[in-house]
Amino acid sequence: MNTQISQKETLVYRTLLAAGLVVIAAALRIAPHPWNFTPVGAMAIFSGAVIRDRRLAFLIPLLALFAGDIFIGLYKLMPIIYASFLVNVAIGLLLRSRRTVGPLGLATLVCAIQFFLVTNLAFWAFSTTYPHTRAGLLTCYIAGIPFFWNTLTGDAVCAILLFGGFALAERLSPAFREPSLESIR
């Protein structure tokens, strides 16, 4: 009996594990939590960094977000929120060969900042809460600062759990290890 795991099987196992972690992270979004302290940003970065099929890397987080929104409720800024998380997936793509603390920390910070900037701009533009002036936009951004810290903290904690959990699985089971260049030749 051959106990070797083929490259194709490894890819399938890695993708299933990563997709499962993304779905679990998305499910946590509907659990009670402080405002913006969710795993969604980290989930998107993780998906881009770990899921090899780019289409799946973008599709799985979107489907997970949408499934959560069915429970939470649909809202008018959904397209902008989803687009912002797709930016996180794209940033995750840049981490594929550099999944170490430094690049991951920087990516998490950049993703939280872009989410803050994009979503607050959208909220200001599409709501009547703040006047549509520079002062109104500035007030909107200032009011959003506490949410930014929750976003950054949630993303950082969840990135550690997602990437750390995946690295642990890679270490403990050959089925999840990326094939080395020698095995490809």
pLDDT digits (tens, 9 = 90+) for 135-164: 999 999 999 999 999 999 999 999 999 999
Burial class (CB in 10 A: 0-12, 13-18, 19+), 65: buried
Q: Average of pLDDT values for 40-52?
A: 93
Instruction: Supply the mean pLDDT for the chain.
Output: 88
Q: Average of pLDDT values for 1-15?
A: 74
Largest Cα–Cα distance of the chain, in whole Å?
71
Q: Average of pLDDT values for 99-113?
A: 95
Q: Which of 14, 11, 92, 83 is nearest to 46 (CA)?
A: 92
Contact 28, 63 (CB under 8 A): no
Burial class (CB in 10 A: 0-12, 13-18, 19+), 160: middle
One CATH from 1.10.10, 1.10.3470, 3.30.70, 1.10.1760 for 7-184: 1.10.1760
Give the start-to-end residue ranges of the domains of the chain. 7-184
Alpha-carbon span 172 to 27, nearest angstrom: 25
Q: Which of 117, 148, 153 is nearest to 42 (CA)?
A: 153
Q: What is the pLDDT of residue 185?
A: 43
Check pLDDT > 70 for residue 4: no
